[in-house]
Structure 1
Amino acid sequence: MRWSHYFIPTLREDPADAEVVSHKLLLRAGMVRQLAAGIYSYLPLAYRVMQKIMAIIREEMNRIGGQEFLLPALNPREIWEESGRWTAMGDNMFRLRDRKGADLCLGMTHEEVFTAIARDELRSYRQLPQIWYQIQTKFRDEPRPKSGLLRVRQFIMKDSYSFDVDRAGLDRAYELHREAYCRIFDRCGLKYTVVEASSGAMGGSESSEFMVRTEAGEDMIVVCEACGYAANLEKATSRIAPIEDAPGPDAPEEFPTPGVRTIEDLTVFPGGAPADRQIKTLVYMMSAEDGPRPLLALLRGDHQLHETKLSDALGGVAVRPAHPDEIRDLLGASAGSLGGVRAKEIARARGRELRIVADLALRGRRNMTTGANRDDYHLRGVDVERDIAVDQWADLRIVNSGEGCPRCEGGTLEVFKALEVGHIFKLGTKYSESMGATVLTPEGKEVPIVMGSYGIGVERVMAAAIELHHDADGIIWPETIAPFDVIVTVTNIKDDRMREAGERLYAELRGAGFDVLLDDRDERAGVKFKDADLIGVPYRLTVGKKIADGAVEIFQRRTKRASEVRLSEAVARLRELKAQSRP
């Protein structure tokens, strides 16, 4: 490729609306342009990188026996209703109607479609195992698109699915994918941590995420260096010191708390209580076919709720915080005066059924303080299990740095930001049972197919590589996914000797199998060097004044080392450098 004919609209300054490093550099390097919030156009340089990432993914998926499909992005409502996810996906799903009034959606993922194919075509254990995959555009109605390619509404994903006759087969497929993902991310130059994760709306018994540590990440990861425990914050647990409660009264006692609206207010109010002796009461609404249903989430006053943990506890049902008017209609009080005592009776009197989910840290607690469901009043002396009709106990709280590791005795947890680049799930029979996908065992018994689901975000791999590999001058691409292997920079294209030497190098490098970009622009040398550093090509061959002595310069972008080499030896030397850089 010749730069003079290639479309690389570089920018000198960081765009004002770019927040994270990868977003800034993708824009400045002329790789992407925004069409709308969370919707990007990929320009030629970016698409070359993405094609190399996708080639690595294909090689590794084919290596474990994967077969590539391409399924429709436009899905009918009926197939998502079969799995129960038409409602469960909530507002994150793009929905539309065709001219005949039929409901459709843009696929966020393809469990339903792949399961339908398996249901219609697989009959016997003899046809299993199967691994099917695709690399395709997905859609998510992201409420707050931001951070460039890290939170978008349209994206490219590799999604694969395993089909087995039993759980042992699923375990093998899951491990095959785990190993393949490690090879993929290693080859793409990423440093990552594999963590336990929530399965969310996907469902299933187990899942793991592949996370890249970066301040640009939007997930929080919990790690114990002592034993290697690692989990997403939405899944992480920890050890906390037990609290001994003094005996309380035989029944809760109401007392006035004028102006008290928060946990903090009550800690300083005369006759109040410290945060760890309060019950935090949060009202949420669960998605349901017949409309939102209310629930109370109860936690210790000094703990914070993780909404994904709440959703997981409810079987993956989407939840949202209740609006102030919904809260008052339900319990007759404002948010600062709520509690679980008699909450079900109050709600029932108002024509609503109420579910109560309590965090495990409240189990066995007594002599606690909580809202009285009456503005400006609280209750003291609450015994959680005696006085509150809890429907479900679950781990709901957010883990904090410094808390004890749940796996080893002496370890403490560190919490840091990370970016998800891959996620693997053991789905089990969630989709095959709901959609009727069965096969016959060797004994002739009909059983549901046991499934796994496995995803990689292509753009996220690209963005993560930039977050990990950059400097003040621009991107430093890992060699395996760089848009070009080498750039030949002719410092003065009007000089016949330089131009001819550049053309010679360009031809020889292409003949040797290198991806080459020839900078043949009529620009100052400084501009060309800055652009080369910005777009991050691993090697630069500079043809300058020393060509009079038959010499050119090889510059390594990562190390910033420059060395002189004879023009006739440049290709061989570049081969040596690339061989030395291979892991």
Structure 2
Amino acid sequence: MRLSQYFLPVLKETPAEATIASHRYMLRAGMVRQQSAGIYAWLPLGFRVLRKIEQIVREEQDKAGAVEMLMPTIQSAELWRETGRYDAYGPEMLRIKDRSDRDMLYGPTNEDMITDIFRSYVRSYKMLPKMLYHIQWKFRDERRPRFGVMRGREFLMKDTYSFDVTKEDAVKSYYKMFVAYLNTFDRLGLKAIPVKADTGPIGGDLSHEFVILADTGESEVFCHKDLLDMNAPGNVDFAGDLSAHVDSRTSLYAAADEMHDATAFAALPEDKQMSARGIEVGHIFYFGDKYSAPMNANVMGPDGKEHAVQMGSYGIGVSRLVGGIIEASHDEDGIIWPKSVAPFGVGIINLKTDNEDTDKVCETLYAALAKAGIDPLYDDSNDRGGVKFSRMDLIGLPYAITVGPRGVAEGVVEIKTRATGERQKLSPEAAIKFLTAEFAA
């Protein structure tokens, strides 16, 4: 993409309402624009990141055996009345009426609707287990929306729902999704810590939050230091026994319900204690027949009797992750994107546009990197060099190539690695080989 053809409304000043890093940088880098309290338009740069995160989430769900579908944002209140949640959910639910005066709502979650879909088609245990998911916009009318997309009212969420005959099978599905989440966050370049959690309005008796560490985290996390050194499970045989993949982590859980009670934390050796601030980016639940029983979502079991299906739900805040990644990875100059979700792989800075020599080198680099699938952003503007450097640091691309008349005369370009600040001078051909190898790793 050429910057001259792109839409990148970068701001020089930090908006007064932005108090945390992700909010500041998302506004300054032209990723989002606030349309009303807690509701944002996703501008091209932010939208590219959002879609990359969404695709990684999708791939890991598919790998775990979940099947994608799409449910509507507007739901009938009748389904929620069947489960008793319509009146119990609270003012966060946006309740509306259609032109026929029917009670409707903008869905904050989908347990009730997916249970209705399931009961319409599945009658026998032979059709189980099943995991269904969608990635859809949701709305929760937060009392105090703040921190940009971290605590907005409208947000993009991946929610998966599992269906099993027995509790034993349902717990297996739960841990299958547990592992899928660890793999997902690992691919996003995040160190996510699973923490025992309160089930809240979703319900159930087994739940974990996945939190990433950041100074601006909304909750205090107490955990074993070794959790930070553990790798994600990688390519797991989801047909096998998953307990071994989570046992080592489970033994290290030290946070109590809601992550505020440090009782379990006090029992750890002092040199293994760690407390920090955390941002929730995922939450998983096993809740049995909380929804299937009142909605008569029953299946015929192998014993010839009807059983209320055992369910779980599993959410990841896709749009929230954009802010979470920035909170975990930035410096005073701007964002530092992991390669897996960066809006562009490499920025090309032409220090003297309309110069035959620098233009030629930039065009060669641009064509070669695009052909290699690295997706470069070519700054072909007439702005001063300092403006170009600051803008590239702000938007946080993993690498920047600077092409200037002096370097071209010497046969070199300069590559800057955003995460480390390291600079190296290479020939254009060597630069292409270096970057191709970096993105192939």
Same topology, TM > 0.5? yes
The aligned counterpart of 1:170 is 170
Give me the whole-angstrom Cα distance separating, in 2, the residues matched to 1:463 and 1:410. 32
Mapping of residues 116-515 of structure 1, within 5 Å:
116-223=116-223, 228-231=252-255, 234=258, 399=261, 405=265, 416-515=276-375
Question: Is 1:577 the equivalent of 2:438?
Answer: yes
Matched letter for residue 39 of structure 1: I
Give me the whole-angstrom Cα distance separating, in 1, the residues matched to 2:257 and 2:290. 24
Give me the whole-angstrom Cα distance separating, in 2, the residues matched to 1:232 and 1:98. 43
Give me the whole-angstrom Cα distance separating, in 2, the residues matched to 1:470 and 1:409. 32
Q: Is the 8 A contact 1:194 1:230 kept in 2?
A: no
Equivalent position SS for 1:231 = coil
Per-residue deviation, 1:413: 7.1
Mark the runs of 5 or more structure 1 residues left unpaired by the alignment: 237-397
Q: Is the 8 A contact 1:222 1:233 kept in 2?
A: no
Equivalent position SS for 1:444 = coil
Per-residue deviation, 1:572: 0.9
Q: Is the 8 A contact 1:38 1:146 kept in 2?
A: yes
The aligned counterpart of 1:391 is none
The aligned counterpart of 1:45 is 45
Give me the whole-angstrom Cα distance separating, in 1, the residues matched to 2:66 and 2:267. 35
The aligned counterpart of 2:65 is 65
The aligned counterpart of 2:403 is 543
Q: Is the 8 A contact 1:221 1:233 kept in 2?
A: no
Mapping of residues 75-86 of structure 1, within 5 Å:
75-86=75-86
Q: 1:184 to 1:85 in 2, by over 3 A?
A: same
Per-residue deviation, 1:419: 0.7
- The two structures have a TM-score, normalised by structure 1, of 0.69
Give me the whole-angstrom Cα distance separating, in 2, the residues matched to 1:487 and 1:129. 46
Equivalent position SS for 1:12 = coil
Per-residue deviation, 1:231: 2.6
Give me the whole-angstrom Cα distance separating, in 2, the residues matched to 1:548 and 1:411. 56
Q: 1:232 to 1:134 in 2, by over 3 A?
A: farther
Equivalent position SS for 1:149 = helix
The aligned counterpart of 1:518 is 378
Q: Is the 8 A contact 1:162 1:173 kept in 2?
A: yes
Correspondent of 2:415 among 550, 554, 557: 554
Identity %: 44
Q: Is the 8 A contact 2:372 2:436 kept in 1?
A: no
Give me the whole-angstrom Cα distance separating, in 2, the residues matched to 1:229 and 1:481. 29
1:326-379 CA distances to partner (integer Å, 9 max, x unpaired)?
xxxxxxxxxxxxxxxxxxxxxxxxxxxxxxxxxxxxxxxxxxxxxxxxxxxxxx
Which structure has more helix as a fraction of its residues? Answer: 2
1:7-31 CA distances to partner (integer Å, 9 max, x unpaired)?
1111122211101111001111111
Q: 1:50 to 1:409 in 2, by over 3 A?
A: closer
Per-residue deviation, 1:494: 1.8
Give me the whole-angstrom Cα distance separating, in 1, the residues matched to 2:218 and 2:173. 29
Mark the runs of 5 or more structure 2 residues left unpaired by the alignment: 227-250
Give me the whole-angstrom Cα distance separating, in 1, the residues matched to 2:369 and 2:96. 51
What RMSD in Å do the two structures reach over aligned CA positions?
1.9
Q: Is the 8 A contact 1:229 1:407 kept in 2?
A: no
Give me the whole-angstrom Cα distance separating, in 1, the residues matched to 2:284 and 2:147. 24
Give me the whole-angstrom Cα distance separating, in 1, the residues matched to 2:261 and 2:357. 65
Equivalent position SS for 1:521 = coil
Q: Is the 8 A contact 1:404 1:411 kept in 2?
A: no
Q: 1:3 to 1:63 in 2, by over 3 A?
A: same
Per-residue deviation, 1:409: 9.0
Larger radius of gyration: 1
Equivalent position SS for 1:501 = helix
Question: Is 1:16 the equivalent of 2:40?
Answer: no
